[in-house]
Amino acid sequence: MHSILLSGVAPRPIALVSTMDSNGNVNLSPFSFFNAYASKPPIVAIGPAFSAATGKAKDTYLNIIETGECTINSVQYSMVEQINLASCEYERGTDEFVKSGLTKRPSQLVKPPMVAESLFSMECKFLENIPLGRDIGGNGNLMLVEVVRLHIAESAFVDGKLHPQRLDLVARMGYNWYARAHGDAVFELAKPRWNGIGFDALPESITSSDILTGNDLAKLAGVKEMPVRDENFPHFPENMNADSLEVELQADNGLGALYAVRNTPFDRRTLHRIAKVFLRTDNIDMAWQTLLQEPK
């Protein structure tokens, strides 16, 4: 169950948690049972479970209960091997900063240090721990902490906003798998500006398509109101030229594809293939007008 759950509930952000016991011994440990749950006030949570085999509590859990403080630090791709080393189950009192070669950075409002190599760090105060399923032998914990100060590297910003390519964060998946939030793995998707017409408003000739995917249909269903067919569509510029349908489709040139078949009767499959090109290039209006050309 543990492996299956962690494989399906993924990718998960990694909290690199620094704590200190009452004697001043520092501990550093990564947790992928971690997320943010409120922003006013900013509250995040980690899940330091007791050992399923021995029932032993993790040093992170013991230290936070004992002192009420921690820091939570981001994990960049450049740190993954050091984080892996910090995850070893060393004896209580061992300083994983030393073992992993990571650098301590003094905090301002709490005693545990931050990780200097992390681009995003949070100083946190303990709020409460919620034991999970103890009455049925459960070993989980949900530790809620309040973020009392943020530290963010200037290099993580682009135009005043935190940028995923600069953060280069790593996430945990199942077994020995990780994910890197960088490069082509990161994409933008704007939130809807209005309530779309929804799938239930799409004509059956569109929803039954074997060419248009669920993502394609969602773009069509995201319009504010059902489009009306433009009798003058398509509008071709003067002196327009086009290659064959297949060449234009491969080039993601929807208008060129329409031009290539302008002298032949439109059929549903061809129109759906052309509309898919317009959708791929986020030209929703052209996609709709293409689909509305289908003979009734």
User: Is residue 48's pLDDT more than 90?
Assistant: yes
- The pLDDT score that the predictor gives to residue 55 is 82
One-letter identity of residue 96: E
Q: Is the pLDDT score of 269 beyond 80? A: yes
The C-alpha atoms of residue 19 and residue 25 are separated, in whole angstroms, by 8
pLDDT at 56: 87
In the chain, what percentage of residues exceed pLDDT 70? 100
Beta bridge partners of 17: 29, 72
Compute the average pLDDT of residues 200-219.
96
Tens-digit pLDDT profile for residues 149-205? 999 999 999 999 999 999 999 999 999 999 999 999 999 999 999 999 999 999 999
pLDDT interval class at 296 (50, 70, 90):
low
Average pLDDT score over the chain: 95
Mean pLDDT (whole number) for 58-70: 96
**pLDDT for position 295:** 77
- Portion of the chain with pLDDT greater than 90, in percent: 91
Residue 264 pLDDT exceeds 90: no
Q: What is the mean pLDDT of residues 204-221?
A: 96
At 87-98, the pLDDT tens digits run 998 888 899 999
Residues carrying CATH 2.30.110.10, the chain: 2-185
Q: Which residue has the higher pLDDT, 238 or 118?
A: 118
Is residue 211 a contact partner of residue 272, using CB atoms and an 8 Å limit? yes
The band of 8, judged by pLDDT with boundaries at 50, 70 and 90, is very high
Position 230 scores a pLDDT of 94
Among the four given CATH numbers 1.10.10.10, 3.90.1720.10, 2.30.110.10, 3.30.460.80, the one describing domain 2-185: 2.30.110.10
Identify the bridge partners of residue 42 per DSSP, sorted by sequence position: 39
Q: Is the pLDDT of residue 85 over 80?
A: yes
